[in-house]
Structure 1
């Protein structure tokens, strides 16, 4: 009760701050919490005409149907594979970029190179997908033209399941790594300059200063970003996959989000789509909690 009274007094005193916060709170309630009412569709034989309230309860019947669906099991496997490879290959890239930018001494060259690598982030996903399709075109794509110069026959990359994951992961890294490096550059800017000055006096090289000062100082930021990435492990780039994949590549390209799209919007099986989304959210919550607990126990760095 005392905390509630303190909160009311604080709200009256700092009402301007709460007024600015109100739009964000309203957005979260309307678009994130209110839709949770619809989760009960997962436990009902949902009918659009009867509505959520009028649809009969069926318990866990749809769960048994979904987890017995080979396409859903395949989508889980593809999601985990793509996300794991993206995390393993893509997560270190922004850190390496930030370390390289931090070592550039020429301000003009540094600004120019940063602008070039940041730029892909601001390109629409549709345009990036179009660039990928054009680049890997079997007739006029630059990749096949280069392969033709060395005597390799044209390859229909985007129709071959084994090529989808490398193309998708590579394009995602190219688009987001530069912009993601900003977080680590900001962390490096917060390193105490006196540490570098002391290292110079002791005769340390730039390589030694990077390993002994820069990396240890930004390690808490790296761990926080890693926890966030692990929490989003099942959130694969839905828009890019929708634009790039086709029935010929479903074998390796179909993920949970595209499965939900096909089942919910195209097939009209809203109950199965809701269950798949609920599964996605529960697993993401478990991953965040696990990663945060491990990080807090062994590194004393955590989200909460």
Structure 2
């Protein structure tokens, strides 16, 4: 099956929502409600304790209501995973595109942690109180997919998300390669520059790392004269053809340009030794960063 024909996968509620997670939550809520009600019935004089008991009761009922609300409002698919992105209807109003995701964590437990790129937080539209929290600028675009009450049909949701995310990345590589070919022919200016920025803005580059004991650091190359350059590769094929024994860190160009000043980098080399590629000099870092912010 090609990347372009991958289906949208949907997952709904478990037929029996009673499990150790829901029982644990229900037990905690019952205990807190019992404590609060007992205090309110027995205590008549301690105003501070009465106020605390009311607070516990109201907060517990609010949290329980928020937990139950999705069950009442979502009757169809709860989780959708497709070529364009992921949608958890309990948390999101619309899908989060894979190109907005920085990293995924999970695979061992019943939670998948979706870390959104900070530059794309504003594109994530959250639902309910999560949206209000994000609207205060205290929240973020990242979110957790909680699987305890979802019928996954035995599938590893983390692996499925990772597979779709990698497929989305691979689909963007040809446009970057075509843009680099145009840059080689026309230079880093005008239409060729705009084409490169449009193509590369959402592609994670592979930044080589080397290990010093347990510490991994950027593999910065010193050229003749002491110029410090950082290599970056557009895809696994080009990276592995030049650096078969190195580790790498996937990093988007806008994030990379934000940190290179702290490492004293004089130039970025895209696909060094593995054509097509280009060289971005230090005096153009700010220009590139500004162009990327507009994408």
When normalised by structure 2's length, the TM-score is 0.21
Q: Which has the higher contact order (CA 8 A, sep 6+)?
A: 1
Structure holding more strand per residue:
2
Higher helix share: 1
